[in-house]
Each structure stands twice: as C-alpha cells, then as structure tokens.
Amino acid sequence: MADTRQDDVATAMREHVLLPAQEMARLGTATQPVLTHAEGIYVHAADGRRLIDGPAGMWCAQVGYGRKEIVDAIAHQAMALPYASPWYMATSPAARLAEKIATLTPGDLNRVFFTTGGSTAVDSALRFSEFYNNVLGRPEKKRIIVRFDGYHGSTALTAACTGRTGNWPNFDIRQDRISFLSSPNPRHAGNRTQEAFLDDLVKEFEDRIADLGPETIAAFLAEPILASGGVIIPPKGYHARFKEVCERHDILYISDEVVTGFGRCGEWFASEKVFGVVPDIITFAKGVTSGYVPLGGLAISDKVMARISGENAKGSWFTNGYTYTNHPVSCAAALANIELMEREGVVEHAREISGYFADALASLLDLPGVADTRAVGLVGCVQCLLDPTRADGNDDDKAFTRKIDERCFELGLIVRPLGDLCVISPPLIITRAQIDDIVAILRQAISEVG
C-alpha cells in the first residue's frame, strides 16, 4: 500500500506543519520519513522499507498495529454514537471504562476523570490538587514539588513542572509555585553508595518541605521511571520513602504513569507492584488505547474524594473538563484494547519477557561506547558515551548516539534518540526472536559508528 504521492506528503509537511520539536532555523527544510501503514511491531515507510518500531510510537503501541478488535470497536462506536456531552450525558463506554480502570489501579483509586491525553491528565491532576486544598480551607497549600529530568507534558502548567531544562528557553514558564528536587539518577551518586544517595535525596525532600513549610505544599508529582528525562530508574526504595514523607505532611502523592501504565513495566500500573507505593492519584494515557486514538485520565483515591465531597463539599463544584472528556470513541477503543490485553495475557507476557529484554540490552555492554544499559519491564535504553566514566553525555556523545540511531534506521530499526540514549520501548507483544533482531541491529550500528 505504498503511497505514490510520498513527495507531496513530504512537501506538505515541510510547508504547513509545525512539528512538536522544530529547529526554527530549519523551518520548511527538515524531512521526516513518511510512514504509510503498520502491522504487529513493524511500520512501513513510503519508500517501501519495513522498520521495527523500537519506541512503540511514543511508548504507546502496547498491542502493536493492525489490531482489528480495536479498529472494529472504534468504527462501531463512531457509527452508533460518536460524541456525547460529558457535562450532560452518560454513555456506556465511559462508564464501563472507568469501572474497569478502577479494578486495575491499586488501592482505592476508584474515581476516574478522562482527558484528551497525558498533558491534560497531569494538568487536571494538578488543578484537582488546587481545588482539593481550596475546599479543605487551606488556600496557601498550593506548591508542587517535582524533579529535574521529570517530564509531565506541554500545557502551561505541566511544562512548568517539567524538569528537562532544555525545554524551557523561549517560553515564559511560570514556576513561582513549583520547586525542583534533584534527579534520582543513580549515575549521579558519584562515590556514594546507592543507599547513601537515596538518603541524600530523601533529606533534600525533607529539607525543602521544612524550608517552604508543609502548609504551602499541595503535591509531589513524580513518574515512577523518569522516561523522557532519560529512562532513569530511581534507587531501590525511593518511591516508598517519598510516599512516607508525603503522608507525614499531608502532601498528595501524584504518580504520573502516562508511560509506565498499562503494562509497560510488566504490571497494569507500576506504582504499587513494581515500586511499592499506592499513590493518591495516578495519571495515565498512551497505552490505555495503545495509541489508536487519543485518551488520558486520572484515577483518584476514595479517601481523597471523601475529604471534599458529600458533607465535606462546602458547596463546591469541581469545574474542570474538556469537550472530549469521556469521549465515547476513545473510551470504546480503550475498552477493546484492555479486553485484548487481558485475553492475550499481554501484561503477563511483558513481565515474563522483561528479563530477556534487559539481558539482551546488557549483552551490548561489551562494546566500546556502550556505558550503561537499563530496563524495567519493556522500557529500556542503551547509553552511548565516548568516555564511559562520564555520568551524562556531552554534545560529542549526543552526536555519536544520533549517528547510531541513524544507522539503526538504515538497518531497519526505529530507535528513539534521546540525548546520549538509544531508547527501546517496543510494543508489549514483542517476541524473544524480535528482541534478538533489535539487539543485532543495535550491535551492528554501534560497532560501525564506534
């Protein structure tokens, strides 16, 4: 099904589309590969090439491409009822999906609010924390604590909470209520043990709370793994220690599971089963529909809701919503996606194959230029440094890694370029043989470029 008008597509992209990461000096000149169709873990380019989708789109294509069950559910719902106002009308897909998600989330996170994607999910969670504290009669409790290297989205508020400082220049980001802690990157431990590094991270959090005053802090917002910030897996016990501090100071613990949710880490959600915490709020998106249509949301604990509803509501109205909240087609796609994941045991498969995946990436450590590999579930990366003793890559390392990514592409593998990292977070349906294919291409590319 090659698109014979691929040159027209490339031209229209260049002339009319503003990309989400656009080097402005090259506006109208950059060329992206044109994709035409996909199946399983493979995408096809307009020039006829078939590529392994190493990043599963943007960490989202859990069940892979061409899944008829999801496409049929989308078509059926679009024909039956494509839209209904979430302000006035109930529909079965939103109701059933919220009910289902409540069974998949840990603890008592049973109240679900649907959004249009990950940024709006996190934005809504943060707005909820404002609302919550206003209703509780403590309007000064509004600060949000986040980490350097965290990524939370592209709305004004979520961009302000994003600790990838490279995203900041030339946007007037208002960070007066936001406070950044150190990245929990184990490579930053220096000559400390991981336990000592963790103690220091917890102390920094405690000291910050003491400095700012717990009565001014609404929420701690954290990804279980800092995904876009560099596949950073915090030291063991980090989340449980931070949750304990939050509980002591009545600070909401918001776990941003936009990447880690829906099986990516080998569990439906990573917070409890992988990292040992039951958050107050979990945000999700991406894998909830395997990327077939946009959807995001948050799940809030009953305990939190009880404090501001019913006889505790004080006449308040929660007024935060989107035209596409509870979107019937998106919710129907998510239900079909989850049903398919359950029927095929996709989450169990991701869990079972995760050790093989981690070992396969680690087998590259014998190559000069490979400084580190890390993986949890099916999120992984290969860190490429010309000097492997450096903790983080410099511009030369990034150029080196970019060349590896380009060579992988020529050899049939899409790798997400992320600074000095080759990120691989494949569809969860990947087989051992396909993991071998990925690692063989990485090995060839790194050896040739190195």
Q: Which is nearer to ligand PLP, 46 or 122 (CB)?
A: 122
At 376, give phi and psi (nearest 5°): -135, 130
Q: Which is nearer to ligand PLP, 44 or 330 (CB)?
A: 330
Q: Which is nearer to ligand PLP, 258 or 446 (CB)?
A: 258
Q: Which residue is nearest to ligand PLP (CB)?
A: 118
Can you give the C-alpha Rg of the chain in angstroms?
22
CB neighbourhood size of 40 (10 A): 18
Amino acid at 6: Q
Within 8 A by CB and 6+ apart from 384, the residues are 369, 370, 371, 393, 397, 400, 401, 404, 420, 421, 422, 446
At 133, give phi and psi (nearest 5°): -75, -30
Q: Which is nearer to ligand PLP, 229 or 369 (CB)?
A: 229
Q: Which is nearer to ligand PLP, 110 or 154 (CB)?
A: 154
In whole angstroms, the minimum distance from the beta carbon of 259 to ligand PLP comes to 4
Q: Which pairs count as long-range contacts for 195-202, CB under 8 Å and 24+ apart, including other chains?
A: 195/235, 197/235, 198/234, 198/235, 198/236, 198/237, 198/238, 198/241, 201/234, 201/235, 201/238, 202/241, 202/242, 202/245
In whole angstroms, the minimum distance from the beta carbon of 153 to ligand PLP comes to 4
In whole angstroms, the minimum distance from the beta carbon of 241 to ligand PLP comes to 21
Q: Which is nearer to ligand PLP, 239 or 407 (CB)?
A: 239
In whole angstroms, the minimum distance from the beta carbon of 57 to ligand PLP comes to 11
In whole angstroms, the minimum distance from the beta carbon of 54 to ligand PLP comes to 16
In whole angstroms, the minimum distance from the beta carbon of 91 to ligand PLP comes to 22
Determine the distance from the C-alpha atom of residue 55 to the mean position of all C-alpha atoms in its chain, rounded to a whole number. 12
Edge-to-edge strand list for the sheet holding 370-376: 370-376, 379-384, 421-424, 416-418
Give me 120's structure tokens.
């709006």
In whole angstroms, the minimum distance from the beta carbon of 277 to ligand PLP comes to 16
Asked if residues 385 and 371 have their Cβ atoms less than 8 Å apart, the reply is yes
Q: Which is nearer to ligand PLP, 58 or 367 (CB)?
A: 58
> Which run of H or E residues covers position 154?
none
In whole angstroms, the minimum distance from the beta carbon of 47 to ligand PLP comes to 28
Residues that bind ligand PLP (CB under 6 A): 58, 117-119, 122, 151-153, 223, 227-228, 256, 258-259, 285, 296
Q: Which is nearer to ligand PLP, 165 or 312 (CB)?
A: 165
**Rounded to whole angstroms, how far apart are CA atoms 202 and 239?**
10
